[in-house]
Amino acid sequence: MSAPKAIAPKDGKLGVMVVGMGAIGTTVVAGVHLIRKGLSKPVGSMTQMGTIRLGKRTEARFPVVKDFVPLVGLDDLVFGGWDIFEDTAYEAAKKAAVLSNEHIDAVKDELKALRPMPAVFDKNWVKLLDGPNVKTGATKYDLARQLMDDMARFKAENGCARLVMLWAASTETFTPVKDTHRTIPAFEAALKANDPDIAPSMIYAYAAIQSGVPFINGAPNLSADTPALLALATQKRVPVCGKDFKTGQTLMKTILAPGLKARQLGLAGWFSTNILGNRDGEVLADPGSFKTKEESKLSVLDSILQPDMYPDLYGDYTHLVRINYYPPRGDNKEGWDNIDIFGWLGYPMQIKIDFLCRDSILAAPVALDLVLFCDLAARAGMAGIQEWLSFYFKSPMHAEGLYPEHDLFIQLTKLKNTLRYLMGEELITHLGVEYYDYFESEKA
Ligand SMILES: NC(=O)c1ccc[n+]([C@@H]2O[C@H](COP(=O)([O-])OP(=O)(O)OC[C@H]3O[C@@H](n4cnc5c(N)ncnc54)[C@H](O)[C@@H]3O)[C@@H](O)[C@H]2O)c1
């Protein structure tokens, strides 16, 4: 057993700065208020409902995660944020239509009190969207300063001890890492020169990191995942994590693919198609935004199945992902998967999945856990990429030279072992030989 890590106390209020008060943003905020009032349960949240085993199986120690690590309680969360529309969270929640009117009206006052601050927005990065609640500034650096001022003001006005920023805004168009994103000086010069390669999400990430505020990226766009911003995060001792909440079809993929691989069943093809009708779906109808999403969704299978290591099983499969904007479905999307697998002697088999899921219902608990864990990470002095939070992401950020870990069950073990490590509890390997009489020579 190692000594517990020094973790600063969780005292005081935690301000959650939500970028984008859309389907996910409002579902998180409304959900937390409903749970606080005792009107709902935090289903899907590992921090609130999950347990963690400590010590040997014979010890029967299984605390709930929130009782094991010092996480801020839901009563101590205060929400603020930005959107390109002026709607309060109440109006935005009604439009997103994820939650029932009954649920939304039960927390009407709390949602009405949340009016988004003017956003940093650039239509070049989200082609199919435009709105009036947008900041103006001479340069992108100036816009970043305005965001920093917003955060400082929010913190003071709401008496917050600390803040966390959550990007739950629309997916931006695809960009690879360019020279402007490689070093802190190049990035800052580009901000001051209004370089078109700096996306709004990067300006938010920069503002957060400069302000010492942990940054969570729920979308697939790069945002903080560039060498410049990661260097800044390390320099400023700020945790960052992303990208792209793992919900819906990809969640299913990362549950199923490790199982097929564990049993050495081969894969000939995996065809995934979705219909969804929310604003996210509308934005993803733009090829630029879709490419960002597609990259995020496609990377999952290769890194779980490791075709290089298993050429006979996974060396030649076809993986296609389609998303179609279909307004009647709203947030209740449908994802179909056709999976062509093969078994003993190469005999083919098929698996069909039809997941009628509610995207934001799956995403909200993920966002909540990330907010609480990132605040914990900050108080524990864990700067830079929080790879132990890969469990929650489709495209987990990782250190250079490492491949990302996509297998949900390895990610879960990593997350729980990190919590044990922080608290000075023994890591669990699941070896378990001590319960049996296998080795004569090791008998006491
Ligand atoms: N719903 C899911 O399960 C899920 C899963 C993984 C990732 N995501 C990603 O999360 C993000 C949010 O999803 P959603 O379903 O809530 O979408 P949404 O369209 O309902 O909400 C996005 C909100 O962001 C606002 N916005 C856009 N650009 C902004 C900017 N620069 N600053 C401030 N606000 C801005 C929009 O006006 C909108 O209100 C998307 O990028 C989506 O791809 C969603």
pLDDT at 2: 81
Interval 73-98 mean pLDDT = 97
Question: Side chain identity at 73, as an amino acid letter?
Answer: G
Give me the torsion for CA of 28, 32, 33, 36, rounded to 10°. 170
CA–CA gap between residue 418 and residue 241 (Å, rounded):
15
pLDDT for 112: 98
pLDDT above 80 for 406? yes
State yes or no: pLDDT of 350 exceeds 90.
yes
Is 70 exceeded by the pLDDT of residue 1? no
Residues with CB under 6 A from ligand 1: 19-25, 82-85, 96, 119-121, 126, 129, 131, 168-171, 200, 218-219, 244-245, 247-248, 278-280, 359-360, 362-363
Percent of the chain whose pLDDT exceeds 70? 99
Contacts of 51-58 spanning 24+ positions with Cβ under 8 A: 52/416, 52/419, 52/420, 53/416, 53/428, 54/420, 54/425, 54/426, 55/425, 55/426, 56/434, 57/432, 57/435, 58/435
Give the helix/strand (H/E) hosting 239.
strand 239-241
Q: Which amino acid is at 142?
A: D
Q: What pLDDT, in 10s, does the model give residues 182-210?
A: 999 999 999 999 999 999 999 999 999 99
Q: Tell me, in angstroms, the distance from the centre of ligand 1 to residue 394's CA.
A: 15
For 344-366, what is the mean pLDDT? 96
Q: Which atom of ligand 1 is nearest to the CA of 81?
A: 33
Q: pLDDT tens, 215-238?
A: 999 999 999 999 999 999 999 999
| Side-chain-side CA neighbours of residue 408 (13 Å) | 15
Quote the pLDDT of residue 434: 85
Cα 263 to averaged position of ligand 1 atoms, centre (Å): 37
Candidate of 24, 114, 124 to mutate for ligand 1, largest count of ligand atoms within 8 Å of Cβ = 24
- Nearest-CA residue for atom 6 of ligand 1: 245
What is the 167 CA–ligand 1 centroid distance (Å)? 8
pLDDT at 296 over 90: no
Ligand 1: centre distance to CA 170 (Å): 4
What's the 212 CA to ligand 1 centre distance in angstroms? 24
Which pLDDT does position 287 carry in this prediction? 85
With 0-12 CB in 10 A as exposed, 13-18 as middle and 19+ as buried, what is 290?
buried
Instruction: Give 299's pLDDT tier (boundaries 50, 70, 90).
Output: confident
Please tell me the distance between residue 107's alpha carbon and the centre of ligand 1 in angstroms: 22
pLDDT at 393 over 70: yes
Closest atom of ligand 1 relative to the 283 alpha carbon: 19
Asked if pLDDT for residue 430 goes beyond 60, the answer is: yes
Closest ligand 1 atom to 85 CA = 37
Q: With 90 as the cut, is the pLDDT of residue 368 above it? A: yes
Mean predicted confidence (pLDDT) in 385-407: 94
- Are 373 and 47 within 8 A, CB to CB? yes
Report CA(358)–ligand 1 centroid distance (Å). 15
At 67 the three-state DSSP class reads helix
pLDDT for residue 177:
95
Which atom, in ligand 1's list, is nearest to the CA of 122?
A: 31
How far is ligand 1, taken at its centre, from the CA of residue 281, in Å? 10
- CA 441 – ligand 1 centroid, Å: 60
Helices 248-262 and 359-379: crossing angle, nearest 10°?
80
Structure tokens at 11: 């005292």
List, in sequence order, every residue forming a beta bridge with 320; answer none if it has no partner.
Answer: 271
CA distance linking residue 397 with residue 393, whole number of Å: 8
Q: Distance of CA 415 to CAs 47, 405, 408, Å? A: 11, 12, 10
- The DSSP output letter for 54 is B
Q: Is the pLDDT of residue 444 over 60?
A: no
Q: Which atom of ligand 1 sits closest to the CA of residue 201?
A: 31
Protein residue with least CA distance to atom 31, ligand 1: 121
| Range 59-64 average pLDDT | 96
Distance CA 72, CA 65 (A): 12
Mutate which of 21, 98, 140, 170 for ligand 1 pocket (most atoms within 8 A of beta carbon): 170
Distance (Å, rounded) from C-alpha 212 to C-alpha 205?
A: 11
Instruction: Please report the sign of the dihedral spanned by the C-alpha atoms of residue 196, residue 197, residue 202, residue 206.
Output: negative
Compute the average pLDDT of residues 340-351: 98
Task: Please enumerate in sequence order all residues whose Cβ is within 8 A of that of 279, keeping only pairs 6 or more positions apart, or say none.
Answer: 22, 23, 96, 129, 170
> Cα(25) to centroid of ligand 1, in Å?
8
For residue 243, whether the previous peptide bond is cis, meaning omega lies within 30 degrees of 0, is yes
What is the model's pLDDT at position 157? 98
283 Cα–ligand 1 center, Å: 9
List domains and CATH numbers for the chain: 13-245+361-422 (3.40.50.720), 248-356 (3.30.360.10)
Segment 93-97 mean pLDDT:
95
Summarize pLDDT for 308-341 with one digit per residue, the tens: 999 999 999 999 999 899 999 888 889 999 999 9
**CA distances in angstroms from 216 to 99, 121, 197, 219, listed in the order given:** 24, 18, 21, 9
Tell which one of 129, 140, 280, 370 to mutate to probe ligand 1, the residue whose CB is within 8 A of the most ligand atoms.
Answer: 280
Residue from 271, 265, 250, 281 nearest 128 by CA: 281
The DSSP line for 380-439 is TT--EE-GGGGGGBSS----TTSPPP--HHHHHHHHHHHHHHHTTPPP-----GGGS---
Per the prediction, the chain carries an average pLDDT of 95
Using the mean position of ligand 1's atoms as its centre, give its distance from the Cα of residue 83 in Å: 10
- Run of H or E residues at 17: strand 13-19
Beta-sheet pairing, 334-342 with 266-276: antiparallel
Closest C-alpha residue for ligand 1 atom 38: 22
Q: Whose CA is nearest to atom 5 of ligand 1?
A: 245
Which DSSP category does 233 fall into? H
